[in-house]
Chain A
Amino acid sequence: MLVARDLVRRYGDLTAVDGVSFHIDPGETFGLLGPNGAGKTTTISMAAGLIPADSGSVTVAGEPMGPGEVHVKRHIGLVPQDLAIYPELTARENLMFFGRLQGLRGQPLSRRIDEVLEIIALTDRAKDPTKEYSGGMKRRLNIAIGLLHEPTLLILDEPTVGVDPQSRNAILESVEALSVGGMAVLYTTHYMEEAERLCDRIAIIDSGRIQAEGTRSELITLTGGVDHIRLAGAGQSAATQAALRALPAVEQVAADGHTLTLTVRDAPTAVAGIVTTATGAGMTLSEVEITRPDLESVFLHLTGKALRD
């Protein structure tokens, strides 16, 4: 659906995007996860043909994409990071305008507007000026505009920034629904939970470079792929530790007073055996906690810094 090869974009001395390559298959949801200033917006601006790349190339549906490739842009629904809507116009008027820019008109446009208003649950408020909307409603409208012409690839640039948890959930649900419906999605975010929840594959981007790319579990293996299980309770002894260490899934056991921290492979599967062994070796458990590495720790592992400041 989309192939980006060695994209480079400079602003003066700053190389905002520095050799980014990725591809998105039809129907796939692909995430660009990275902190502010990582180069996400710049990357998708090139992918959507808003700005030219200094070097590298983008193809969409097999056709080369660039600022002058007007007809190729038809494949893409772009939802920019800024709320690109007219505040003094109603939702319907905004949809009407952007629909016309997509070349829609008349009855089909009207019908399609009704449909997307339904999707984003704004039918009731469609005749109010959008300046009276809540942040979440504006975000939803912003997305609806990108959906109007039923693109094969939807590009969403941080669509949940600054919205309340309820609206955020509504937005995530509609993105999931779209992807189930077969639309390819390019989703940028600095929230790792969103990337984990939505994306089939994720590229971690920082300082204009893709640091790693793969499915969630592929990325997590990069950190070494080990989980931790913490056991707290009374009666732990050297014998308990030895018994646990003898289990095949357990790689390491560290004791700290009443607490044992185990380094294990595949904690969810191993936890039952571990609890049985610990109890059998004289420990009375008051707490069991599993911690698994997430994309946050992957990012930390790759860049030596936290995803969010």
Chain B
Amino acid sequence: MRAARAIAAVELRRFLRDRSNIFFVFLFPLLLVLVIGTQFGGGGGNGRVAISGTDSALNNAITASLEDDDVTVTRAGAEAVRQQVARGRTDVGLFISPAAATAYDAGDPVDLEVVPGTQQGTQATLQRVRTAVAGLSVERGQVAALVGAGIGDTQARAALADAAAASTPPELTVVDVDSITQEFAGLGQFDLGAAAELLLFVFLTSLAGATTLIQTRRLGVMSRTLGSPVSTGQALAGHAFGRFTIALFQGAYIMLATAILFRVSWGNIWLSLLVLATFSAVAAGAAMLIGSLLDNDGAASGIGIGLGLVLGALGGCMLPLELFPDTLRTIAHVTPHAWAYDAFAQIQRHDGTLVDILPALGVLVAMAAVLLALGTWSLRRSMSRAL
């Protein structure tokens, strides 16, 4: 075990020593998480609304009502709001004209202009805006009716507030008609991208790292290792453990960095790490297999990167699995990525427990076992080629 640890440690050291790794392993994934998050991620909570209009009672009332409903509200000029909607930075633009503000103050009917965006979740947010506005006009109408009946304005409002506190108002939950939007519910802006990029890059790095196995043989380090009092099994375990450690290291780094930089929520961290660990074992097994089947560095890194990208794309790391047609989504589960993606989805969005992710973990462990066995067998053969 001591020899296996030494081999794993030296592989990690070589990995960290390689400057070309810094960008692709440590910076690029975060960059992609950032880009994906800003492009596609829904705002936190129940959508984003940008309001244009002067400071008015109406403006404040709508803002308060929306924020109560967990909608993120920003204010900007009319042109800026249009831009934001057009660019997908906000779900809905709401325009409050001075006339509308005055009409609201006077208790007259109010006309508001709403511009919905085109991305996922817009409909739900729009519905929330309607609810808020409707709620306001109902309240306004009630006050007007009470005042009309001879009750003072202040008393009328106090009475209404009492009534509201006394009765539990029916909870209005906006359910998205769109099942896809439902699947993404509970995700922070960067959460989806972070999980996808983690899977993509951990696997990619691992497969590209298959070349180190080939170098180890070509450099003669493998024969020197076996010339030491180290058994073949220990040497094999060392290399498998090394690949695994590197994958785990990169994955944990991406988790930590996205949590700090983008406030990505990884849900139950122990469960997430468990998913990462099983996925890393699959990645290590795949690297062992490629690194032992091939004897040529260039070919191995080409195949490794190609395979990493294809599997990543198929496994939902580039386009979310939820947007796949059903058949393709089923096929996607030949990749470890899809299983890990599902497990992360359970943990991140639905507060999934160990029981929820157990099937995915089981599949990942089985994949890892098969690949590690094949990789070990094939590496043993390649070692005799190296001597």
Contact = CB atoms under 8 A, between A and B. Distances in A.
A177 to B, nearest CB: 23
Contact of B227 (A68, A78, A81, A129): A78
Interface stretch (A69-77, A187-195, A204-212): A69-77
Nearest to B227: A78
B227 A49 contact: yes
B238 to A, nearest CB: 9
Interface stretch (A96-104, A231-239, A272-280): A96-104
Interface in B233-248: none
Interface stretch (B6-14, B124-132, B153-161, B340-348): B6-14
Classify the interface of chain B: helix, strand, loop or mixed: helix
Contacts of A85: 219, 221
B221 A71 contact: no
B380 to A, nearest CB: 11
A281 interface: no
A67 interface: yes
Contact of B10 (A50, A86, A145): A86
B229 A70 contact: yes
A89 interface: yes
Contact of A67 (B2, B220, B226): B226
Interface residues of A, number: 32
B387 to A, nearest CB: 5
Interface residues on B, range: 20 to 34
Nearest to A49: B227
Interface in A284-298: none
Contact of A100 (B2, B224, B231, B387): B2
Contacts of A83: 219-220
A83 B221 CA distance: 8
Interface in A19-60: 45, 48-51
Contacts of B221: 84-86
Contacts of A89: 10, 13-14, 17
Given A70-B230, A71-B229, A82 B384 contact: no
Interface of A: 45, 48-51, 67-68, 70-71, 73-74, 76, 78, 80-89, 93, 97-98, 100-103, 129, 145
8 contacts: A70-B231, A78-B224, A80-B220, A80-B227, A84-B219, A89-B17, A97-B10, A101-B229
